[in-house]
Structure 1
């Protein structure tokens, strides 16, 4: 795989002259005009390319000057495609012309072929060596150009695969050896929230860091290019200072999608560049890895997507924060991938109402939509649920998914402007459509622990729990009412939210999910960490990914300091990592052996408080033994949620009235037989029952006790002991609160099992 990727992606965005031929990569045009550089599908079609994303208005010409090897007649080929042809859609929205010294060739490009191909442009007479070229967009609807080839030999270049890659390398005269970009303690690949968190955290702990990002801006899905606002609770749980780094660069968007300015691309870059130990490489796409053996990465090779220079980054440790698990896949890391029935890719959009009529010419190639076929874009925002590709391959099918989403967006806008919505939207103007897709799920790299949905729901206590994940288990599926017209490829999603996650304190994600099981110097940060499909639903949001990066950066500093692997930290140095996780995000040291200090005049941020302004409840993860909160209990009857009384566990507690019939059933899984003390938590109040009924089911049978919830609980943190009972695997281990009548409100909060002393 490594050599194949290297062959496919070691290409140039430059101009090359060979005998009687000239190859011009579109991304090398000196003035791109209104054309955008699209790099998100290099793994699919082998190159960056220019995209005419004008929202229906032709974009400004991309121009450059080239020097031909000689004058005379040349045959012309342009690598492009008709991007709607794969669906046999009418019309050719991506059409453009090639201008040579201001004169258009007779052929219109972007009009042939469902796949990338060298479209024949006929011949042109070159009368002087120095010549200007221009890509002239005709429609503003995402025409695309990869390269232009002039040759006195009429034969077309190879079309795809390794032959095309080898031909490019030969034609462009690429050097075999990439530029030496230096040697680093940590090489971070991917500049989203996870990569930024890892790079900043590691740099502040004394590491020399390279941060490689394949786009011109940082932030990933949380950048102005995609505009998914940052979600996930920070600064809470066992390590309440994790998240302070994220807080320095997170967006301030009031909606998703918000405005470009709200996502603060400049702030993100400013925060990164302020770290003297970070070398930032924007517009560089990692195309290969070099291995010292099957378990260690020695270096990565990146392609500069503007100049075609290849750079080699040597490192002691590496972080895959690409989202797609790209570096892991290139390096032979174990991973899983759902080729169907996965979460899709969003391309959001915005429109504004103006003071005058705004025209939009009818289109034939968009999805044929009527107003009832899609949810009305409220307040001019077409939000996250404009999502497609659920059953398209999450890597190989990305370009097709993006293009299908664009057909859906423009089909909806056509319905709003030219069909039944035209009167209401006469003054509406399309403001922004994301051409960079916001992907939710692709590869999951495998670590020593694969966190599951059950781990999160049951709050399974891992000894290396670190990052608090607070987002609900949020899984996306096609929304049935809108999928009816396009059942094979729906474009509107719904979210199924499992609300058993502790949103206030968070569930501590194990550190062992953050490094590769079989590549011994590879960390992961962001949505490609070691979790199942269902568990991904809670950890995939940006702030959580950024906190994972903070943990990884600190862990990498311990690896460098102790010359050990990420796994060894768990086995031998985890207390040292815990000490670093307790630090404020602004803490720093010059080298891994230097003293840790805070900047002069530093003021710690105020602690996180709950939405009512009070102190948060007691975190489940902070309690010893087996603990289940009321959120994990199986309830019958009517229970009311509350958090007004002190000493509650998690986000609050539940209670039922004296006339209500209802139970809260706590079912424990016992792995080791023994005698356990059973405790329950409640917050006393005069309206509570003095005879709250509780039943304990154990290997000894069933026993009922009553609890006076009107008096203060005798044990710390609001607990009372219900007695000692023997529990065994395969036998009931159940506590039921409320299994009978009572003379007041019955409260149910946490139940705790502690091995008896």
Structure 2
């Protein structure tokens, strides 16, 4: 028998297909997705070497992602083309679970052949891998450890050691992780940033398009924020904008601007396992990554680690304990907590925008997903933070479904507006010009440090002796929008409750490292806070500032030969000195002034005059006018009114 296993994400030219690594922890690899907004995308193309002339039976690992809603024609249909010949079976029609679907059989001569994924719909068809075998009964395992072992054997996967040893290894290239790795390098540490995508910035990248929230250079340590400013794009206003406004390249160029050569960046590499000291399992010695493109594995050794992955893949693999969901009032005694604990979290938002053309633009009249009507549709021209899904689901284990549900409801609603609504003439010239392929998460696992910060710490203005960078955003809790939740079996829109905070509140250093993993810092969404307190600290400038603190603490660890807890117990004065000085800024970098949105929305609010009766900030009349104007612009952009 002769066989060949081909990973779809490793195609030489992906064409219009995009690599999606979001469910890699469940599947073992990334996959290709035809993200075409209803217009078929260009073929993904590669070449294979066939060792033996024979008839090959060809299968693709795929799924019908809209089958879970049990209505209509499968959305993500595609075919396979071998040397330009289209195999007979339409793929992506095999049910809601990932499985091997036969594409056809074909005689292939020994030598080089071209393989193409040919999209038929533009509606997010997906392919994990393709398998060629001369045995018609040879079908690879469908999933789990069996498929993982099969994949490793067929791909010849074995971890290759990176030659270096790093002072600090950071997993996750959102704002928090990017800042942590850069700041550590600015302090002279040899740092490594591992990012599973081709861009940096996380929610502030062109893939998601969320502006940075929160303030830098405030509170007890006004010099914290230099590295955040260094990588922050100039664009500061709310609402999704064109890709170039998020300055993905600027974030990557910051690593190239590292004069000392201490900061290293590895894109398209995801942490898949952790190695610990046999004599002390609570001490991480190395992480193993898998390329989201080639599948190659690499082992990186380090002395200190920081998990900024958003879901805590590194921390969980190392055995760190975490919180998930909403704590009941009896857990921390918080007035904003509900009576009982639950798994409800703030959800994921798939932002989208539309454009008005000079002539009518068609959109497929789809029959899959939720059926919309005049009674339940939404007359929208864009989707911002309020487009939110997955509040009652597991944001780690069900991330593909959560993202897909947002895509489905957006496309199904838009199809109704364009093709059947009583106002369809108003939408005739409109087209969706961009929609996020992955969405942006608000909340996932929160890992437990030596202290868990709560609403009471913030509102009672508790000044912890190990306070660090300050929270500057209001308590900002998202909930499923009540009417939407009543109309549909599962909500896909949200509302927000804002409650002002009385002052700049420093996050305790003890929230920034894991309680039960000795050399692990926590960054981004993982920091040790209650659900309510997290809603205030979760914005990206704040998390970036806390990343600077973690980098400074790592420097103290290296100087004093201690672990993160040792900084708190014996050397916090040294960390305070570094926080007072701030992270050095490269001489080539001219730190810009505070942007207008940060200036009036945060800095002016940053006086933090708190009104106990109204529970909001006392704003100047000019600020109120600015916010009213922005609100009107927001409504016009999303409703046309």
Please give the TM-score of this superposition, normalised by the length of structure 1: 0.75
CA contact under 8 A between 1:179 and 1:309: conserved in structure 2? no
CA deviations 1:544-576 (Å, max 9, x no partner) are 110010110111011011110111111111111
Identify, as 1 or 2, the structure richer in helix: 2
- What does residue range 140-539 of structure 1 map to in structure 2 within 5 Å? 140-154=122-136, 155-175=138-158, 177-180=159-162, 182-251=164-233, 252-275=235-258, 276-292=261-277, 293-338=280-325, 340-370=343-373, 373=376, 375-377=378-380, 380-420=381-421, 421-486=423-488, 488-499=489-500, 501-502=501-502, 506-539=504-537
CA contact under 8 A between 1:196 and 1:272: conserved in structure 2? no
CA deviations 1:195-242 (Å, max 9, x no partner) are 111111111111000000011000001111011111011111111111
CA deviations 1:238-275 (Å, max 9, x no partner) are 11111121112113143321211111101111112212
* Structure 2 residue 98 is the aligned partner of structure 1 residue 127: no
Cα distance change on mapping 1:137 and 1:586 into 2, 3 Å: same
CA deviations 1:321-371 (Å, max 9, x no partner) are 011111100111111122731111111111000111101120011322246
Shift of residue 617 of structure 1?
8.3
Shift of residue 416 of structure 1?
2.1
Cα distance change on mapping 1:142 and 1:181 into 2, 3 Å: farther
Cα distance change on mapping 1:27 and 1:237 into 2, 3 Å: same
CA deviations 1:494-514 (Å, max 9, x no partner) are 111122x14xx5211111100
**1:749 matched residue in structure 2:** none
Cα distance change on mapping 1:325 and 1:411 into 2, 3 Å: same
**1:554 matched residue in structure 2:** 552
Q: Tell me the distance in 2 between the aligned counterparts of 1:181 and 1:344.
A: 40
Cα distance change on mapping 1:374 and 1:271 into 2, 3 Å: farther
Shift of residue 168 of structure 1?
1.3
Cα distance change on mapping 1:354 and 1:641 into 2, 3 Å: closer
2:571 alignment partner, SS class: helix
- What does residue range 74-153 of structure 1 map to in structure 2 within 5 Å? 74-153=56-135
Q: Tell me the distance in 2 between the aligned counterparts of 1:511 and 1:124.
A: 62
1:550 alignment partner, SS class: helix
Shift of residue 54 of structure 1?
0.4
Q: Tell me the distance in 1 between the aligned counterparts of 2:534 and 2:602.
A: 30
Shift of residue 79 of structure 1?
0.2
Unaligned runs of 5+ in 2: 326-341, 622-641
Shift of residue 455 of structure 1?
1.2
CA deviations 1:501-534 (Å, max 9, x no partner) are 14xx521111110000011100011111000111
Cα distance change on mapping 1:343 and 1:601 into 2, 3 Å: closer
Shift of residue 471 of structure 1?
0.9
Higher relative contact order (CA 8 A, sep 6+): 2
Cα distance change on mapping 1:137 and 1:368 into 2, 3 Å: same
CA contact under 8 A between 2:499 and 2:616: conserved in structure 1? no
CA deviations 1:107-158 (Å, max 9, x no partner) are 1100112100001223211134211111000000000001100111222111
1:34 alignment partner, SS class: coil
CA contact under 8 A between 2:172 and 2:309: conserved in structure 1? yes
2:52 alignment partner, SS class: coil
Q: Tell me the distance in 2 between the aligned counterparts of 1:299 and 1:394.
A: 26
Q: Tell me the distance in 2 between the aligned counterparts of 1:562 and 1:21.
A: 55
Q: Tell me the distance in 2 between the aligned counterparts of 1:341 and 1:600.
A: 46
Aligned positions, number? 597
Shift of residue 437 of structure 1?
1.9
**2:637 matched residue in structure 1:** none
Q: Tell me the distance in 1 between the aligned counterparts of 2:497 and 2:580.
A: 34
Across the aligned residues of Structure 1 and Structure 2, the Cα RMSD in angstroms comes to 2.5
Q: Which range moves more in the overlay, 267-276 or 63-72?
A: 267-276
CA contact under 8 A between 1:289 and 1:299: conserved in structure 2? yes
1:350 alignment partner, SS class: strand
2:304 alignment partner, SS class: strand
Moved over 3 A (4+): 370-377, 598-619, 638-644
1:582 alignment partner, SS class: helix
2:402 alignment partner, SS class: helix
Q: Tell me the distance in 2 between the aligned counterparts of 1:417 and 1:255.
A: 27
Q: Tell me the distance in 1 between the aligned counterparts of 2:602 and 2:561.
A: 45
Cα distance change on mapping 1:640 and 1:470 into 2, 3 Å: closer
Cα distance change on mapping 1:522 and 1:141 into 2, 3 Å: same
Q: Tell me the distance in 1 between the aligned counterparts of 2:169 and 2:441.
A: 23
Cα distance change on mapping 1:200 and 1:352 into 2, 3 Å: same
**2:635 matched residue in structure 1:** none
CA deviations 1:433-470 (Å, max 9, x no partner) are 11112111111111001001111111122111111111
CA deviations 1:254-301 (Å, max 9, x no partner) are 332121111110111111221221110000000000001221100000
Cα distance change on mapping 1:95 and 1:610 into 2, 3 Å: closer
Unaligned runs of 5+ in 1: 1-18, 588-597, 620-628, 645-757
- What does residue range 531-680 of structure 1 map to in structure 2 within 5 Å? 531-587=529-585, 599=587, 611=600, 631=611, 635=613, 641=618
CA contact under 8 A between 1:367 and 1:410: conserved in structure 2? no
Cα distance change on mapping 1:543 and 1:374 into 2, 3 Å: farther
**1:657 matched residue in structure 2:** none
Cα distance change on mapping 1:181 and 1:357 into 2, 3 Å: farther
Q: Tell me the distance in 1 between the aligned counterparts of 2:236 and 2:549.
A: 25
2:368 alignment partner, SS class: coil
Cα distance change on mapping 1:411 and 1:253 into 2, 3 Å: farther
2:406 alignment partner, SS class: helix
Q: Tell me the distance in 2 between the aligned counterparts of 1:188 and 1:347.
A: 26
